[in-house]
Each structure stands twice: as structure tokens, then as C-alpha cells.
Amino acid sequence: MGALVKNILVFGATGQVATELQRFEGVTALSRAEADLSDPAACAAIIAATKADAVINAAAYTAVDKAETDTDMAFRVNVDAPTAMAEAAAKRGLPFVHVSTDYVFNGSGTTPWREDDATGPLGVYGASKLQGEQGVQAVGGAHAIMRTSWVVSAHGNNFVKTMLRLGAERDRLTIVADQVGGPTCARDIAAGLMQMAEQLCDDASKSGIYHFAGGPDVSWADFAREIFAQAGITFEVADILSSDFPTPAKRPGNSRMNCTKITDVFGVLRPDWRSSLTDILTDLKAI
């Protein structure tokens, strides 16, 4: 960390990204019991009283399918809370770094999404995250919004851990092959967020929206094949279409993200998810 940033206040403690953020010196991570995003005013009050140099919001309502019926809670956590938090941070002159998602787009085409492309969320989760972004931006304080995708780690529930569990139980799986994106290791996301927070303390003109995802782009089915290959598991993966596996909330077919801007502005490089996957598998063996 640079000289300007001594302490970072993180909302979230048990999520994948928040868990990785706690590896960094100077991070104070707040659990849901300490800071519940369903109470935006309480979260804002914590920021108003903090002695931290910057704030990172790594907490969110992420139950994509449940959000379709739990709409009020999804919007309270993903819109009202970050907006109130960003306002409190702005009043204190603190940079506010916020995590968002590729679900703000409609998932059409095959071209990687750029930050200034037209949004068009397909469901409640994406709509709530988009409005949360807009709330943070409207406040006008120093801020950075990181849109990311397909988060994986050795912690919590995610695709890598699900595949390893099923690989031990079965000998064949059908996996969606017409959704393409960039798997992103939570540890890489955390490192990027810390860089953004540090630099925003020195240069508020870097405020804006940024895309960050692992490369190269891959389908869920091919991602699964690489997981099994690296884990040394002999397993058959059969491709299916999204229409063969309907879910309450529609998933974007194209989650490819253009990550040029975050490299140009913050010097955050796009990570190779295959290398990060190797690290995740190593971590899991040690658990």
C-alpha cells in the first residue's frame, strides 16, 4: 500500500472477495452482524464515524434467482445501501470503491462489453446492481465501480467448488456451453480493488466505471473441463444450451468484458484465470 492509504474499511467479511481483502494489511472487514446492508442508514453512520482512509463495498445481494421474487430486499441492499454509503463517504472526502457485475448488460452478441456500452439487465439482480451504480455515481464523490464476472475462489459457494464436488460424486455432467465470459478469481479482484482505492486517494479524477475479468473468455462447459483437467479428475462434460437448463432469472449469453480501461487508468492487468485456478486448487488442498 502507498503512504496515503493506511486503513481500508470493507463492507462484507465472509464473501469470496471480502475474504481475500482481509489478506491485506490495514483492512477492517465488517460482517453482516456489524453492518447489515438491509439497513442503509446504519451503514452510512459507520462510514461517518470511521477513521479509515477509503471504503470498499464488497457486500451485495447476489442470489440471482431469488431476487426475482425478493425484489424489495435486492433493491434495498444493492441500490439504497451503496448510495447511502457513497454519500457518507463523499461527505468525509473518502474514496468509495464498489463491486458490480456484467449482469447490467443484456448479454447479446459476442463483442466484449465496454464501460460505455448501453446497459440492459435481464432480471431483478442486474437491474438492482445497475441502479446501485447510478446511485454511487450521482453522489459525485471520488468513486470507482468495478464490474466483474464469474467470481471463483477456495471460499464460499462457486462454480469451481461445485464442479469438484460433483466430480467426486458422478462420472458425467451436462454444462451450459452457450454462455461465454471470464472466470475471475476473488483474490485477483481484491488486489485490483486495493489498487483502485489507493490511487483514488491521490487522484479523484480516476473516478468512474471499470471492467475486470479473467481471460481468456471461455464457456462454462470449457471452464469445467479445465477445472477437471487441472484437478486430475477424469470426467465427461457434455455441452448443453441455456434453454435446456431454464432458471428463474435469465443469464446473459455474452459476459465477455473489455478490460483495457482498468489497465490504462489504474495499471491493473487482466489476470489469466487458468493460473488463478491453479492457485485456487492449491488453496483447497491446504484447507
**Is the CB of residue 249 less than 8 Å from the CB of residue 123?**
yes
3-state SS track over the chain: CCCCCCCEEEECCCCHHHHHHCCCCCEEEECCCCCCCCCHHHHHHHHHHCCCCEEEECCCCCCCCHHHCCHHHHHHHHHHHHHHHHHHHHHHCCCEEEEEEHHHCCCCCCCCECCCCCCCCCCHHHHHHHHHHHHHHHHCCCEEEEEECCEECCCCCCHHHHHHHHHHHCCEEEEECCCEECCEEHHHHHHHHHHHHHHHHHCHHHCEEEECCCECCEEHHHHHHHHHHHHCCCCEEEEECHHHCCCCCCCCCEECECCHHHHHHHCCCCCEHHHHHHHHHHHHHHC
61 assigned to active site: no
d(CA 30, CA 7): 13
Among the listed residues 61, 103, 125, 210, the single catalytic one is 125
Strand 151-152 to 143-148 pairing = unpaired
Q: So which residues are the catalytic ones? A: 125
